[in-house]
A = this chain, B = another copy of it.
Amino acid sequence: MIDVPTLVEQARAGRPRAVARLISLVENASPQLREVMAALAPYTGRAYTVGLTGSPGVGKSTSTSALVSAYRRLGKRVAVLAVDPSSPFSGGALLGDRVRMQDHATDPDVFIRSMATRGHLGGLSWAAPQALRVLDAAGCDVILVETVGVGQSEVEVAAQADTTVVLLAPGMGDGIQAAKAGILEIGDLFVVNKADRDGADATARELNHMLGLGEAREPGDWRQPIVKTVAAREEGIDELVDALEKHRAWLAETGELTVRRRRRAAAEIEAIALAALRSRIGDLRGDRHLDALAGRVAAGELDPYGAADELVSGLTDR
């Protein structure tokens, strides 16, 4: 048994090892997670979370690293959570190996962690928000959530963040791809990275055009900005931070921040409730009540729906 109160106290004091250990508990779906989350709850809700998403090759990790530098210059404590929904392997080696991230490896106010979510019940919906709670309670001012790998999981990551940044790069046909993937809807900010390359202006124009095709905006609505960057040279990154801070202020002023965080919390509660119910049903294997119901169904005395009703009605009394 892990001494959760001590571990939480150490994490709150910013000790990287304690933070890492708590995230490992999340990753391994420890039975003590419940205790951990209860202990963390009062200290959550302060961090600003930014999700970064985009096709492979657009420069997500370079941009993430440049953002870390920029926020560090502003004196902020920063965490990077790289979520890989396609891999069951984890431990940070993946991120630690990246040259740019190593710039921050010795900075005590930067916490970098990769996390595998495959094999988790409910995938990302389950693990990522809990890891965010740990980083939040550990006093991180800004948490950058980056997906490693591709797919619809990107949309899920976006759903975990206060602000979602969609990255594009010139000459990848990304504009059209973005429209297809429904990525226009999830982006609060767009970045055209590698803006020193041919076609950057065309990509930005195309994107601008597509964003303009949406419905007419009300006054006070958020107008999604397009920021051009060359992340490898840290160009345009201060402008990106400005745009992020503007979005953050807009979220706070309009009450949208509360709306988003409640929506996230609701999804998290649902995921946990469903996992709990699934586990209770699993526990019934070999249970005499289920056995008896199965016997009646196998004998044709009862249909499986009627049996399921009986099973469910007995479930929450346990």
Task: Using CB atoms and an 8 Å cutoff, list the residues of chain A in contact with chain B.
Answer: 33-34, 37-38, 40-45, 129-130, 258, 261-266, 268-270, 272-274, 276-278, 281-282, 284-285, 290-291, 293-295, 297-309, 311-313, 315-316
B38 contacts A298, C-beta separation under 8 Å: no
Interface SS, A side? helix
- Give the residues in chain B near A37, CB-CB below 8 Å: 303-305
- Give the residues in chain B near A270, CB-CB below 8 Å: 281-282, 284-285, 290, 308, 311
- Give the residues in chain B near A34, CB-CB below 8 Å: 303, 305
- Give the residues in chain B near A266, CB-CB below 8 Å: 285, 290-291, 293-294
B298 contacts A262, C-beta separation under 8 Å: yes
A265 contacts B305, C-beta separation under 8 Å: no
Could you say which of B265, B290, B303 contacts A304, with CB atoms under 8 Å apart?
B265
B274 contacts A306, C-beta separation under 8 Å: no
Kindly list the 4 A-B residue pairs having the minimum CB-CB distance in the complex, ordered from nearest: A266-B294, A272-B308, A265-B297, A265-B294
Given known contacts A266-B290, A291-B266, A300-B43, A305 and B33 CB-to-CB distance under 8 angstroms: yes
